[in-house]
Chains A and B, each alone.
Chain A
Amino acid sequence: MIRIPRRWEIPESEVTPEPLYRRRREFIKSAGVFGGALLLNPLAAAQASLKIGAYEKGVVTLDEEPTQEEDATSYNNFYEFGTGKEDPKRNSKRFKTDDWTLEVGGHCEKPGTLGLEDLVRPHPIEERIYRLRCVEAWSMVIPWLGVPLGSVLAAFQPTSKAKYVAFKTLHDPVRMPGQQRAVLYWPYREGLTIAEAMHPLTILAVGMYGKTIPNQNGAPIRLVVPWKYGFKSIKSIVSIEFTEEQPQTSWNMAAPQEYGFYSNVNPEVDHPRWSQKRERRIGDIFKRDTLMFNGYGDEVASLYDDLDLAVNF
């Protein structure tokens, strides 16, 4: 029998050497001492999550009431901080986002590693009220604060080889205790086609409800793609890469038959185990009908003219 390695299987050579792995706790301890020294040094005290100053109100709005802020910040799927819905809020309390940097690379003319301020500040922060539809058939309406991903990416001058954009979440099992268990393949990975990434509805969010984004919602910077299932909107991003090949995505790696690369909200294509026809808006008891592309069909349907959405789910 020939065993074809799956795309996500890594060669033995890439596995952390055992002696190094065994010393991981010492490493953590020494990192702690080092980190402590940083705390004592006032010069090292750096910016935390982006402070939201002025922003443009209502750049995109909905005629639907936003979800209660308390609900949107206490009911989260963020497995890096635990798999329960209320785990992220509890387990991310001490998560520090100081000195956060984002590495942007791959097929672009001007790759670089930027701090949050440098990445976001050149662009006016906009308030955008979007529906958020989770693959688990619940949904919210959230007033995000962020900047269009397209204008951020344009500054790096992607080349003609940039067909896709790959994103990664921070991988740090000490700061993100949920990563100590192999529930998913860490780091969390997501990806978009370049057209999806450049679409004006796609944003990088740094705030919500008029404030800096809370840790449990993906601080300090996360993606928001309102016409796709929530898991596509990757949180706490540290890396953005322009790629020629379709990038790997964490949920697709975990269950390829259940979570496709596109994962557009589509009431006609069910999840293999449950229906996607209806959803429960948080705050409601009964379910409502799910809208094609989560209600953003007028804006995004043309992106998929040539695709069979039942195959490319």
Chain B
Amino acid sequence: MAVSAVLNSARLRPVLHLLCLLPLCALTWAAFNHGLGANPVERLTHETGLWTLRLLLVTLSLTPLRQWTGLAAVIRYRRMVGLYTFFYLCCHFLIWFVADQSLSLLAMIEDVVKRPYITLGFSAFLLMIPLAATSNRAMLLRLGRKWKTLHQLVYPILLLGVLHFIWLTKADYLQPGIYAIIAVILLLHRVIPIRRFAARFSPVTR
């Protein structure tokens, strides 16, 4: 099948790397060419936050995608997209810590404690650190069954991320609403046993 040939191609990985780096390149280019508008710091914060959420949603769609299409190879790229999610989250955090908190730990802690939407976002950041740290094969082997349990943290992380977005919104909930709906669908997919249902309609027999 053509799709699985693409998925198995050695050339796909570099292409995916480039795709995941594209937002970073676009933002960097815009930053040096007055392309970020009047408030570049705010724009960078928003964009890196949005890309974190988008890539997290992509990461979590790979398992359903495999179940629906039977293309087992998509899972090979999950770790990579997950790590790029963490990368954009780090950018998001650093921009906020440097430009909004002026690198002050004290100011940062005060905001984390006092502002619920920051508490949520910061918790998601902290929770993702162990996931990134244990993402390599060695840690996977070492942790064994515990690895899977640990990595189920990704679900609360997604919830925290979406709530963080909703909670900082002033009036127009359209965009955070769309992210929330996609997140809920992806989470429900884990809870409700769609698998058997999907298998019945899947064009690919396994």
Residues of A within 8 A of B (CB): 67-68, 70-72, 74-75, 79, 83, 85-86, 136, 138, 181, 183-184, 254-255, 270, 273-275, 280, 282-283, 285-287
Residues of B within 8 A of A (CB): 37-42, 99-100, 102, 111, 114-117, 167-168, 170-172, 174
Contact B171–A75 (Cβ < 8 Å): no
A287-B171 CB under 8 A given contacts A75-B38, A75-B39, A280-B41: no
Q: Which residues on A sit within 8 Å (CB–CB) of B41?
A: 280, 285
Contact A85–B38 (Cβ < 8 Å): yes
Contact B99–A275 (Cβ < 8 Å): no
* Closest chain B residue, CB of each to CB of A140: B38
Q: Pick from A136, A273, A280, A282 the residue with the most CB of B within 10 Å.
A: A273
Contact A184–B171 (Cβ < 8 Å): yes
Cα(A74)–Cα(B170), bound, Å? 20
Contact A138–B171 (Cβ < 8 Å): no
Contact B115–A136 (Cβ < 8 Å): no
Q: Which residues on B sit within 8 Å (CB–CB) of A74?
A: 37-38
Contact B99–A254 (Cβ < 8 Å): no
Contact A280–B42 (Cβ < 8 Å): yes
Q: Which residues on A sit within 8 Å (CB–CB) of B40?
A: 285
Contact B170–A136 (Cβ < 8 Å): yes
Q: Which residues on B sit within 8 Å (CB–CB) of A273?
A: 115-117, 167-168
19 new A-B contacts, CB < 8 A, other than A79-B171, A184-B171, A275-B114, are A70-B38, A79-B172, A85-B39, A136-B170, A138-B39, A183-B171, A183-B172, A254-B171, A273-B167, A274-B115, A275-B115, A280-B41, A280-B42, A282-B39, A283-B38, A285-B40, A285-B41, A285-B99, A286-B102
Q: Which residues on A sit within 8 Å (CB–CB) of B99?
A: 280, 285-287
Cα(A291)–Cα(B39), bound, Å? 20
Listed by A's residue number, 23 A-B pairs whose Cβ atoms lie within 8 Å are A68-B38, A70-B38, A71-B38, A72-B38, A74-B37, A74-B38, A79-B171, A85-B38, A85-B39, A181-B172, A254-B171, A255-B171, A273-B116, A274-B115, A274-B168, A275-B111, A280-B41, A282-B39, A283-B38, A285-B41, A285-B99, A286-B99, A287-B102
Cα(A282)–Cα(B170), bound, Å? 20
The one of A83, A138, A275 that contacts B42, using a Cβ cutoff of 8 Å: A138
* Closest chain B residue, CB of each to CB of A275: B111
* Closest chain A residue, CB of each to CB of B118: A274
Cα(A79)–Cα(B116), bound, Å? 26
Cα(A68)–Cα(B39), bound, Å? 12
* Closest chain B residue, CB of each to CB of A82: B172
Cα(A274)–Cα(B117), bound, Å? 9
Cα(A33)–Cα(B100), bound, Å? 52
Chain B nearest CB, measured from A182 CB (Å): 10
Cα(A136)–Cα(B87), bound, Å? 27
Q: Which residues on A sit within 8 Å (CB–CB) of B116?
A: 273
Q: Which residues on A sit within 8 Å (CB–CB) of B114?
A: 270, 275
* Closest chain B residue, CB of each to CB of A178: B172
* Closest chain A residue, CB of each to CB of B95: A285
Chain B nearest CB, measured from A80 CB (Å): 13
Q: Which residues on A sit within 8 Å (CB–CB) of B38?
A: 67-68, 70-72, 74-75, 85, 282-283
Cα(A255)–Cα(B171), bound, Å? 9
The one of A83, A85, A183, A280 that contacts B37, using a Cβ cutoff of 8 Å: A85
Chain B nearest CB, measured from A69 CB (Å): 11
Q: Which residues on B sit within 8 Å (CB–CB) of A255?
A: 171
Cα(A274)–Cα(B170), bound, Å? 11
Cα(A150)–Cα(B115), bound, Å? 39
Q: Which residues on B sit within 8 Å (CB–CB) of A86?
A: 37
Chain B nearest CB, measured from A256 CB (Å): 13
The one of B100, B168, B170 that contacts A287, using a Cβ cutoff of 8 Å: B100
* Closest chain B residue, CB of each to CB of A250: B171
The one of B37, B100, B102, B174 that contacts A75, using a Cβ cutoff of 8 Å: B37
Q: Which residues on B sit within 8 Å (CB–CB) of A72?
A: 38
Cα(A71)–Cα(B117), bound, Å? 28
Chain B nearest CB, measured from A43 CB (Å): 42
Cα(A75)–Cα(B36), bound, Å? 11
* Closest chain B residue, CB of each to CB of A76: B38
Cα(A85)–Cα(B38), bound, Å? 9
Closest CB pairs A-B (n = 6): A75-B38, A71-B38, A83-B172, A183-B172, A282-B38, A183-B171
Chain B nearest CB, measured from A3 CB (Å): 24
Cα(A183)–Cα(B169), bound, Å? 12
Chain B nearest CB, measured from A78 CB (Å): 13
Chain B nearest CB, measured from A34 CB (Å): 33
Cα(A85)–Cα(B170), bound, Å? 13
